[in-house]
Amino acid sequence: MPPLPLHIRLDDLSDPRIARFLEEHLQDMHATSPPESVHALDLDKLRDPSVHFWSAWWPGETAQDGTLVGSGAIKRLDAGHAELKSMRTAAAFRGRGIARQLLLHILTQARALGLQRLSLETGTQDFFTPAHQLYLAEGFEPCGPFGSYTLDPNSRYLTMAL
């Protein structure tokens, strides 16, 4: 299946559709993981200056008509290391390559920002299997906890040298 013609933009999080989209993301994370193992960032934390957030849109007639189909962010941990956060594809669009397009875009942007390493934490439940497969296929490798994370049976840690 050919890739969808997405418009991926660095986003200021002001569009109310993004708030609703991210609320669904938080609900999914709380439905699949114990509360102490949910590390998803809410809208306020995504507005931190250390975070770059991208939204992916299925084009409409105008920018206001587009459909928000995906999101992803990086949170800088130090000068050369960032964490991948808030990767999500809208349920109706899953399995169509949106996450891969978005991830590849974010990897390109991370390199352009001068980052040398990108790491991530994701869940171990079956819900996260497609994400695990994508990250491994794109070159991420298992690692131990990084940043402020600790060992957690509900978390899987991956990293990639850029």
**102-122 per-position pLDDT tens digit:** 999 999 999 999 999 999 999
Residue 2: what pLDDT? 53
At position 8, the amino acid (one-letter code) is I
Tens digit of each residue's pLDDT (9 = 90 or more) over 58-98: 886 555 678 999 999 999 999 999 999 999 999 889 889 99
Sign of CA dihedral 140, 32, 66, 47: negative
Per-residue DSSP letter, 125: S
Distance CA 45, CA 86 (A): 11
pLDDT above 90 as % of the chain = 64
Q: Is 65 helix (H, G, I), strand (E, B) or coil?
A: helix
Residue bearing the bigger pLDDT, 100 or 25: 100
Distance (Å, whole) CA 69 – CA 48: 23
pLDDT of 101 > 90? The answer is yes
Q: What is the CATH number of domain 7-161?
A: 3.40.630.30
Q: Report the pLDDT averaged over residues 5-32.
A: 83
At residue 4, the pLDDT reads: 62
